Amino acid sequence: MKIISSVSEMQIFAEELRRSGKRIGLVPTMGFLHEGHLSLVRRAREISDAVVVSIFVNPAQFAPGEDFERYPRDIERDKSLLQSEGVAVLFTPGSGEMYPQRFSTYIIPEGISSVLEGKFRSTHFRGVATVVGKLFLIVQPHAAVFGQKDAQQSIIIKQMVRDLNFNLQIIVAPIVREQDGLALSSRNVYLSPEERNDAPILFQALQKAEALIHTGETDAAAIIHEVEKTIRGKKTAAIDYVAVNDAESLTEMTTTQTGRPVLISLAVRFGKTRLIDNIIVQQ
Ligand code: PAF
């Protein structure tokens, strides 16, 4: 596995890969890799000849007071995991490479970036879109793989690709969960034993919502109420939001009687740890 930390070297290497006819698959990450990330890498391997994984904890997507400084990092462990997954290139730029002095050009997604996560993290998707756009320009991938856990992020990236004519395929891979249903996240390491014990309630609540829809409930407010009631049963959980949206357009649904896939998503704080999760219900 080749390790590259300079933007210009990555650009040159990507050019060479393309010139030799290789299909490049990119998996952008912030490191501290878990099985969820590795499932994205495996998906990328299936559809490309050379997989590039980027590890960059992107300061632009963290607001002041969020967990940028304490975000977990373990680059040596990440390297050996990626090596054993047959990754061609690990791209690990520093902050100065990605955001040199006087950096001042951002990609600002509008509309769908102000709902759900955007209501609580107003500059988050500007940071995500900017760094992902830069990675697309640097790595020149034919395809990039993202995780369904960040449902809104994936929708915003697809929109950005359409709007700005990036010439690549976006693949969204399913959520990987622990045995007890907790969605894998690098942030799970922050949870105290009690919080970790309570956290699987998120998936249980989402499953209840899915069952409600399948038994004929169509009122979004009733579905949200049931999810919130279930989560409130755990004393370490504090809800930021539970929402019911169209799974493709993110339009808020008051009724699920549209026949379209429904995205039920939530963000819940356990102590200082904020977890997100979601489920798509096909009707
Ligand atoms: O999903 C993530 O880990 C990040 O938001 C991403 C896509 C790597 C951009 O920093």
Q: What is the pLDDT of residue 114?
A: 95
Which residues have CB under 6 Å of ligand 1?
28-30, 58, 61, 128, 131-132, 150, 153
Contacts of 250 (CB under 8 A, 6+ apart): 112, 115, 116, 152, 155, 263
For residue 257, the CA-to-ligand 1 centroid distance in Å is 33
225 is a catalytic site residue: no
Q: What is the DSSP letter of 32?
A: S
Q: What is the pLDDT of residue 8?
A: 98
- Mean pLDDT over residues 223-242, rounded? 98
| pLDDT exceeds 90 at position 217 | yes
* Domain range summary for the chain, segments of one domain joined by +: 2-173, 186-277
CATH of 2-173, one of 3.30.450.30, 3.40.50.620, 3.60.20.10, 1.10.287.110: 3.40.50.620
| pLDDT exceeds 90 at position 7 | yes
Mutate to test the pocket of ligand 1, among 26, 29, 172, 274 (most ligand atoms within 8 A of CB): 29
Contacts of 151 (CB under 8 A, 6+ apart): 247, 263, 265, 278, 280
Q: What is the pLDDT of residue 202?
A: 98
| pLDDT exceeds 90 at position 283 | no
pLDDT, tens digit (0-9, with 9 covering 90-100), for 134-161: 999 999 999 999 999 999 999 999 999 9
For residue 157, the CA-to-ligand 1 centroid distance in Å is 11
CA-closest residue to ligand 1 atom 5: 128
pLDDT, tens digit (0-9, with 9 covering 90-100), for 187-211: 999 999 999 999 999 999 999 999 9
Shortest-distance atom of ligand 1 to CA 147: 1
| pLDDT exceeds 90 at position 167 | yes
Cross-strand pairs, 267: 241, 276
Query: Residues 37, 142, 214, 225: which is the catalytic one?
Result: 37
Q: What is the mean pLDDT of the chain?
A: 98
For residue 260, the CA-to-ligand 1 centroid distance in Å is 27
Q: What is the pLDDT of residue 166?
A: 98
- Mean pLDDT over residues 273-283, rounded? 97
pLDDT, tens digit (0-9, with 9 covering 90-100), for 108-139: 999 999 999 999 999 999 999 999 999 999 99
Mutate to test the pocket of ligand 1, among 150, 161, 171, 184 (most ligand atoms within 8 A of CB): 150
Q: Which CATH architecture has domain 186-277?
A: 2-Layer Sandwich (3.30)
With beta carbons less than 8 A apart as the criterion, state whether 125 and 117 touch.
yes
| pLDDT exceeds 90 at position 35 | yes
Handedness of CA 204, 205, 210, 214 (dihedral sign): positive
Three-state DSSP at 283 gives: coil
- Mean pLDDT over residues 270-279, rounded? 98
Shortest-distance atom of ligand 1 to CA 54: 8
For residue 216, the CA-to-ligand 1 centroid distance in Å is 36
- Mean pLDDT over residues 95-103, rounded? 98
Give 36-77 as a DSSP string: HHHHHHHHHHHH-SEEEEEE---GGGS-TTSSTTTS---HHH
